[in-house]
Amino acid sequence: MNHTHNELGQPIGPPLPNWVPPTVPPREVMVGRYTRLEPLDASIHAEVLFREFARDPSGRSWTYLSAGPFPNAAAYREWIALRTAGDDPIFFAILDRSTREPLGIASYLRITPASGSIEVGHLHFSPRIKGTRIATEAMVLMMAKAFALGYRRYEWKCDSLNAASRAAALRLGFTFEGVFRQATVYKGRTRDSAWFSVIDSEWPKLKVAFDAWLAPENFAENGHQRSRLSDLTADAIRTG
C-alpha cells in the first residue's frame, strides 16, 4: 500500500478525502446472462433447495458449512427463516435464469459500511451448478454490486482445510492474505480461517476478465471453456 507521512515524519495511510461510506446492499433481484439472484425466502426456495442439495447423498457439501445437514425440508426451511430474519447476513437464492430453478444460496455478511468492508459467504451450490457459469456468475454479480455501492474491500473466508473453497477464491481473483489460527469454533470443532480479498482498485480489470470468461464465444458447442477463468483473473491481478 502507498503511504504518506504526517507532520512528525511518521508513515501513514493515504487520505480518502472524497470517500463516503456505502449503504447496506439492498435485498433486490440481480440478473446476469445465465443467473438470477433473488432474496432468499424460506417459503419459496427451501424445499427445492433441500432436494437439490440432496443430490449429493454423501453430504460432503455440508462439511465446511456452519450448519447442516438437515434431516428434512422442514428443518431446513426453519433454518432459512431464522437466518433471513435479520440484517446481516443478507441471503440470496441462486437461480438458473432460464428455468427459474433455485440451485444454491449465497450471502453478504460482516457488512461494515464504516470501513467499506463486506464479505461473501454461506455458499452452497447444488451439484448441478458446481463449476458452471451459473455459479460463477452468481459470485460476479454479488461482487459487482458490492463495488458499485462503494465498498472498498470484498472478503472471502473459509476453513483453512477447505481446499475447494480456497481454490475457488483464487479462481475468482481473490488474493490470499493468510491464516487466522483458531479463529472460530463450529460444529464442535476448531477452525483456522483462511482470508482472501479483492479491493476496489482491482475490480475494473477483474470485471474485464469476468466478462471475457462469461461471454458465449468463450465456450465451445459442448460447453467446454476456451479460456480458463483462473488464467484471466491471474493476468488481471498481475497487471493491476
Domain positions in the chain are 22-238
- Please tell me the distance from the alpha carbon of residue 9 to that of residue 31, in angstroms, as a whole number: 49
Mean pLDDT of the chain: 97
Superfamily designation of domain 22-238: Gcn5-related N-acetyltransferase (GNAT) (3.40.630.30)
Between CA 138 and CA 46, with CA 44 as vertex, the angle to 5 degrees is 75
Contact predicate 38/104, CB 8 Å: no
d(CA 208, CA 50): 35
Q: Strand locations in the chain, DSSP E?
A: 4-5, 11-12, 30-31, 35-39, 90-96, 102-112, 117-125, 153-159, 175-186, 189-199
pLDDT value at position 3? 80
Percent with pLDDT over 90 in the chain: 96
pLDDT for the residue numbered 1: 63
The whole-number pLDDT of residue 240 equals 65
Our CA angle for 180, 154, 122, nearest 5°, is 70
Mean pLDDT (whole number) for 203-211: 98
pLDDT band at residue 239 using 50, 70 and 90 as cut-offs: confident
Please write the tens of the pLDDT for every residue from 92-123: 999 999 999 999 999 999 999 999 999 999 99
pLDDT (average), residues 233-238: 93
Q: How confident is the model at residue 2 (pLDDT cuts 50, 70, 90)?
A: confident
Please list, residue by residue across 84-98, b when 16 or more beta carbons sit within 10 angstroms of its beta carbon and e when fewer do: beeeebbbbbbbbee
Dihedral Cα 215, 97, 23, 236, nearest 10 deg: -20
Q: What are phi and psi of 134, to 5 degrees?
A: -65, -50
The pTM of this model reads: 0.96
Q: Tell me what percent of the residues of the chain surpass a pLDDT of 70.
A: 99
Query: Does 163 have pLDDT greater than 70?
Result: yes
Q: What letter would DSSP give residue 71?
A: S
Q: Are strands 153-159 and 117-125 parallel, antiparallel or unpaired?
A: parallel
Give the residue-averaged pLDDT of 67-90: 97
pLDDT of res. 238: 85
CA–CA dist 61, 55 (Å, integer):
10
Mention every residue, 6+ apart, whose C-beta is less than 8 A from residue 90. 24, 25, 27, 39, 107, 108, 109, 111
Q: What is the pLDDT of residue 83?
A: 96
Average pLDDT estimate for 21-48? 98
Across-strand partners of 91?
A: 107
